[in-house]
Amino acid sequence: MKCKTLKIAAIKEGTVIDHISTANTFRVVDLLNLKGSGNVVTVGINFESKKLGRKGVIKIGGRFLTKNEVDKIALIAPEANINIIKRYGVAKKFNVEIPDVVQGIIKCANPNCITNKELVKTKFHILGKNPLKVRCHYCERVAGRENIEPV
Amino acid sequence: MKCKTLKIAAIKEGTVIDHISTANTFRVVDLLNLKGSGNVVTVGINFESKKLGRKGVIKIGGRFLTKNEVDKIALIAPEANINIIKRYGVAKKFNVEIPDVVQGIIKCANPNCITNKELVKTKFHILGKNPLKVRCHYCERVAGRENIEPV
């Protein structure tokens, strides 16, 4: 092996999450439960990026994300973009976007909130996107990115 | 992008941990503290393997492992092999091997063991390698792979 590049199999169908900040990359891995996945998964960090300096990339063979999963990624890693791969090529590419209201995606940090006591789906209003600021619909507790945990 | 392979930059110098079982791959990532690493790291799971069916691979640019780190990997993922990369090529390749005695690598599962009470380096005698069985030098508690946690 003398050459300066390695060939690896491209994914035929699946998803590439690109331009994740290195610090958020393994949080996205956890969020999508990729560790126990049966799919071919590749995770890279500290790759060179013109936009971010350093970036992380996640490739998932044979899996497409739901709207709910993309919204979760937007909250954790708003800098990410998603490439949908079909027939070895990019069929669609888009930036993740934080919606105005998120339901059933993140937990409320207030232990006394009804969503932590009863079987009530969480609901948050997005007050600010950068930096992220959310308000619980039920108890009105306000939280930032550092207090946010996926359901 | 119409081709069926993608070119990625090979690492110039560093370490490739190959033939890890998929289930152990992210345990090795944690063990080597790669999530917070400043190095270029690539982790893959569920790659095809003739030997294991499916395998995991970890590539770490610009880092070489210590004897202690290789011994830790041997305890967690005894199936792994290590490739040392220099000038874009494999300079050395070897299988990890469980030593007969390990010091300062794993914790004793007995909460009353002196190694969990005082600043004493842990020490274990390896009773069996497959399946793994270890005995604490101090309290003589015997443990299997499922009870083993890195220090």
> What number is the ipTM of this complex?
0.83
Average pLDDT over residues B63-73: 93
Determine which of B5, B11, B45 to mutate to test the interface with A (most A C-beta atoms within 10 Å).
Answer: B45
Does the pLDDT at position B2 exceed 50? no
Is the minimum CB–CB distance between B35 and chain A shorter than 8 Å? Answer: yes
* A150: preceding bond cis by omega (within 30 degrees): no
Chain A residues touching B40 at Cβ < 8 A: 44-47
Does the pLDDT at position A5 exceed 60? no
Per-residue pLDDT, A2: 38
E-strand stretches of chain A: 5-9, 14-20, 41-49, 53-61, 81-86, 89-95, 101-103, 123-129, 132-136, 142-144
Q: Compare CB distances from B5 to A8, A35, A61 and report the shortest one's residue.
A: A8
Per-residue pLDDT, A145: 83
As a whole-number percent, the residues of chain B with pLDDT over 90 amount to 74
What residue has token string 């011994």?
A: B71
Does the pLDDT at position A28 exceed 90? yes
CA distance B115 to B100: 19
Subunit contact B10:A1, Cβ cutoff 8 A: yes
Kindly tell me the burial class for residue B4, based on how many C-beta atoms sit within 10 Å of its own C-beta (0-12, 13-18, 19 or more): exposed
Chain A residues touching B8 at Cβ < 8 A: 5-6, 8
Q: Compare CB distances from B8 to A1, A8, A37 and report the shortest one's residue.
A: A8
Does the pLDDT at position A8 exceed 60? no
Per-residue pLDDT, B1: 37
- pTM of the predicted protein model: 0.85
Name the residue with higher pLDDT: A84 or B51: A84
What the block records as the tokens of B102 is 């390990």
Confidence of residue A102 (pLDDT cuts 50, 70, 90): very high
Determine which of B2, B7, B55 to mutate to test the interface with A (most A C-beta atoms within 10 Å).
Answer: B7
Per-residue pLDDT, B4: 46
Confidence of residue B13 (pLDDT cuts 50, 70, 90): very high
3-state secondary structure of A46: strand
Average pLDDT over residues A87-97: 93
Whole-number average pLDDT of chain A: 90
- How do residues A62-81 score in pLDDT, each as one tens digit? 999 999 899 999 998 999 99
What the block records as the tokens of A19 is 């331009």
Per-residue pLDDT, B7: 47
- How do residues B109-145 score in pLDDT, each as one tens digit? 999 999 999 999 999 999 998 889 999 999 999 999 8
Does the pLDDT at position A86 exceed 80? yes
Is the minimum CB–CB distance between A95 and chain B shorter than 8 Å? Answer: no
Per-residue pLDDT, A55: 93
Whole-number average pLDDT of chain B: 90
Chain A residues touching B35 at Cβ < 8 A: 26, 45
Per-residue pLDDT, A150: 80
Average pLDDT over residues B35-61: 91
Confidence of residue A151 (pLDDT cuts 50, 70, 90): confident
As a whole-number percent, the residues of chain A with pLDDT over 70 amount to 94
Per-residue pLDDT, A9: 56
